[in-house]
């Protein structure tokens, strides 16, 4: 039995928000990916959680330049809604998180076992930086959350990429979202593209977007700029502020001769349940198309 006394480190912050909101934003993966990083050159690309005693969680943390990354995970021990929870990290260290109503909002405290490789100050500063990011994100009234979906397709990256973007097959798998769905423009980097559905009288309604990156067979990054209503671009105003600057990213990874398609998109909180229901259906359709054409 290991009887060594572990050093405990405490970090905390006070968030100007309701207890319910602080709890939700701190525990749900769709929010975690937006604040879980200690410095601006890092980000969390994926988070999963089975939030109950005995359930596991994992977050994929990566440098934005792709130079390195690691998985951070563990198993939940105790969960008391709106009060506290605890977990054991994969290396055996323990963490307890508490939520307490205070006059200025909610005091959020984390107490964790220090590890031996880095100084206590470095560890404390890193965890505190993440808490500070959480405070900023939660208090900002952020209207976008990041959603993640993925699927394994039995075909090569090149063929999946082709079927995903070529207009006839693109229209087939995106029809799940909106009948008559199509695009106007090209997938060339830096160009504007319209994602539209034809109206009853032929009017075009949809999104005005830009192709930020297109690495054929590997990665596509789309930035949404505004809306298209009856063929007219709307790029300013309250109508589009919830979508402006949102990204939709597709990553294709080779796996044993097959392809894992990963989709990461910024969604308005108003539509996250809709996308959570529709995207798996759309990816199932894409899989069917790619494997049929394989």
Determine the pLDDT at residue 294.
67
Q: Is residue 179 part of a domain?
A: yes
Torsion region of 121: left, alpha or beta (phi above 0 gives left; psi -120 to 50 gives alpha): alpha
Give the per-residue pLDDT at 199. Answer: 56
Q: How far apart are CA 235 and CA 96, in angstroms?
A: 45
The per-residue pLDDT for 64 is 81
Q: Is residue 256 scored above 90 in pLDDT?
A: yes
Q: Which of 108, 123, 142 is the last residue of a domain?
A: 142
How does pLDDT run across 134-149, given as a tens digit for each residue? Answer: 999 999 766 678 889 9
Domain final residue pick, 125, 142, 159: 142
Name residue, tokens 């394989």. 294
Query: Which of 142, 164, 191 is a domain's end point?
Result: 142
The reply to whether 210 and 242 lie within a common domain is yes
pTM beyond cutoff 0.75: no
Mean pLDDT across the stretch 98-123? 95
Q: Say yes or no: 105 and 240 in one domain.
A: no
Pairing of strands 56-63, 192-198: unpaired
Claim to verify: residue 137 and residue 203 sit in the same structural domain? no
192 and 116: one domain?
A: no
Return the minimum-mean-pLDDT range out of 66-70, 218-222, 251-255, 278-282: 66-70
For residue 152, what is the domain's CATH number? 3.30.530.20
In a domain, 3, yes or no: no
Per-residue pLDDT band for 1 (boundaries 50, 70, 90) equals: very low
59 pLDDT above the threshold of 90: yes
With cut-offs at 50, 70 and 90, classify the pLDDT of residue 3. very low
| Per-chain mean pLDDT for the chain | 90
Domain that holds residue 94: 8-142
State mean pLDDT over 268-291: 91
Q: What is the mean predicted confidence (pLDDT) over 60-70?
A: 87
Q: For the residues 244-248, what does the mean pLDDT come to?
A: 86
For 151-160, 177-186, 239-248, 257-266, which range has the lowest pLDDT when averaged over its residues?
239-248
Mark whether 101 and 83 lie in a shared domain: yes
């Amino acid at each position: 039995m290991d009887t060594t006394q572990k050093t405990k480190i405490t970090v905390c912050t006070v968030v100007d928000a309701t207890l319910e909101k602080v709890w939700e934003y701190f525990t749900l993966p769709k929010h975690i990916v937006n604040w879980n990083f200690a410095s601006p050159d890092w980000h969390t690309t994926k988070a999963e959680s089975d939030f109950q005693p005995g359930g596991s969680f994992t977050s994929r943390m990566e440098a934005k330049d792709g130079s390195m990354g690691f998985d951070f995970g563990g198993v939940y021990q105790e969960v008391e809604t709106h009060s506290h929870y605890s977990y054991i990290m994969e290396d055996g260290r323990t963490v307890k998180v508490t939520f307490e109503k205070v006059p200025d909002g909610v005091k959020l405290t984390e107490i964790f076992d220090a590890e031996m490789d880095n100084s206590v100050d470095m560890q404390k500063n890193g965890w505190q930086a993440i808490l500070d990011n959480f405070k900023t994100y939660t208090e900002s009234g952020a209207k976008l959350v990041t959603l993640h979906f993925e699927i394994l397709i039995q075909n090569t990256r090149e063929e999946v990429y082709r079927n995903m973007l070529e207009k006839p097959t693109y229209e087939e798998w995106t029809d799940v979202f909106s009948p008559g769905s199509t695009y106007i423009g090209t997938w060339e980097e830096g160009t504007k593209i319209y994602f539209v559905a034809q109206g009853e009288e032929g009017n075009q309604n949809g999104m005005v977007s830009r192709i930020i990156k297109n690495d054929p067979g590997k990665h596509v990054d789309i930035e949404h700029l505004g809306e298209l209503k009856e063929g007219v671009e709307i790029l300013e105003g309250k109508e589009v502020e919830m979508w402006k600057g949102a990204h939709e990213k597709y990553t294709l990874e080779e796996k044993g001769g097959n392809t894992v398609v990963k989709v990461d998109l910024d969604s308005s909180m108003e539509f996250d349940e809709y996308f959570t229901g529709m995207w798996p259906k759309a990816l199932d359709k894409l899989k069917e198309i790619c494997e049929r054409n394989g």
